[in-house]
Amino acid sequence: MSEPFELELTVNGTPRTVRVAPLRRLLDVLREDLALTGTKEGCGEGECGACSVFVDGELVNSCLVAACQVEGCDVRTVEAPDLGNVQAAFLEEGGAQCGICTPGMVLAVQAFVDEWAARGREPDDVELRAALAGNLCRCTGYEKILASARTALRRARP
Amino acid sequence: MFLAIAADALGAEVAEVRVEEPDTSRVPDSGPTVASRTCMIVGGCVERACRELRARVDAAPTAGAFRDRARAFLAGGGDGAVETVYSSPPGLRWDDERYRGDAYPAYGWAADVAEVEVDLDTFQVQVTRFLSTVDVGKAIQPAAVEGQIEGGSLQALGFAHLEVVTTEQGRVLQDRMATCIIPTTLDTPPMEVALVEVPYPGGPSGAKGVGELPMDGGAPAVASAIEDALGVHVEAVPATPELLAELWLAAHPGEAP
Residues A59 and A113 in one domain: no
| Domain final residue, candidates A60, A76, A92 | A76
Q: Which of B99-103, B156-160, B186-190 has the lowest mean pLDDT?
A: B99-103
Q: How far apart are CA A30 and CA A70, in angstroms?
A: 12
- Identify the residue among B185, B192, B212 best suited for mutation to test binding to A, counting A beta carbons within 10 A and taking the highest: B185
What are the tens digits of pLDDT across the range A32-49? Answer: 999 999 999 999 999 999
CATH of the domain at A98: 1.10.150.120
Cα A150 to Cα A53, A85, B131: the distances in Å are 21, 11, 21
Cα A25 to Cα A67, B78, B161: the distances in Å are 6, 57, 35
Angle (CA) A32-A38-A40 rounded to 5° is 75
Q: Is residue B122 packed enough to be buried (19+ CB in 10 Å), middle (13-18) or exposed (0-12)?
A: exposed
One-letter amino acid of A135: N
A78: pLDDT strictly greater than 80: yes
Residue B105's pLDDT band (boundaries 50, 70, 90)? confident
Residues A102 and A54 in one domain: no
Residues A68 and A26 in one domain: yes
- SS3 at position A50: coil
Q: In the prediction, which pLDDT does A1 show?
A: 59
Q: How many domains does chain A have?
A: 2
Q: Which of A60-69, B79-88, B137-146 has the lowest mean pLDDT?
A: B79-88
Q: Is B150 close to A141, i.e. CB distance below 8 A?
A: yes
Residues A108 and A130 in one domain: yes
| Residue B216 CB neighbours (<10 A) | 15
Residues A57 and A96 in one domain: no
The catalytic residues of B are: 212
Taking CA atoms, what residue in A is nearest to B180? A47
Taking CA atoms, what residue in B is nearest to A140? B151
Give the mean pLDDT of A29-33. 98
- Mean pLDDT (chain B) is 92
Q: In the prediction, which pLDDT does A51 show?
A: 98
Residues 6 or more apart whose Cβ sits within 8 Å of residue A14:
none
DSSP string, B103-168: --S---EEEEEEEEEE-TTT--EEEEEEEEEEE-S--SSHHHHHHHHHHHHHHHHHHHHT----EE
CATH of the domain at A11: 3.10.20.30
Residue A121's pLDDT band (boundaries 50, 70, 90)? very high
Residues A10 and A65 in one domain: yes
Backbone phi, psi, residue A132, to 5°: -110, 10
B28: pLDDT strictly greater than 80: no
Say whether residue A144 is in contact with chain B using an 8 A CB cutoff: yes
Residues A31 and A71 in one domain: yes
Percentage, residues of chain A above pLDDT 70: 99
Q: Is A94 close to B186, i.e. CB distance below 8 A?
A: no
What are the tens digits of pLDDT across the range B76-101? Answer: 999 999 999 888 888 888 888 898 98
Which of A52 and A118 is assigned the larger pLDDT? A52
Contact list in A for residue B211 (CB cut-off 8 A) is: none
Contact list in B for residue A142 (CB cut-off 8 A) is: 150, 154, 185, 188
| Domain final residue, candidates A35, A56, A76 | A76
Q: Would you say the ipTM is above 0.85?
A: yes
Domain extent at residue A16: 5-76
Residues A70 and A133 in one domain: no
| Domain final residue, candidates A57, A76, A95 | A76
Closest Cα partner for B135 from B111, B103, B113, B104?
B111
Set out the domains of chain B in order of their start, with CATH numbers.
2-101 (3.30.365.10), 109-251 (3.30.365.10)
Residues A150 and A133 in one domain: yes
Chain B residues within 8 Å of chain A (Cβ atoms): 143-144, 146-155, 176-178, 182, 184-186, 188, 190-191
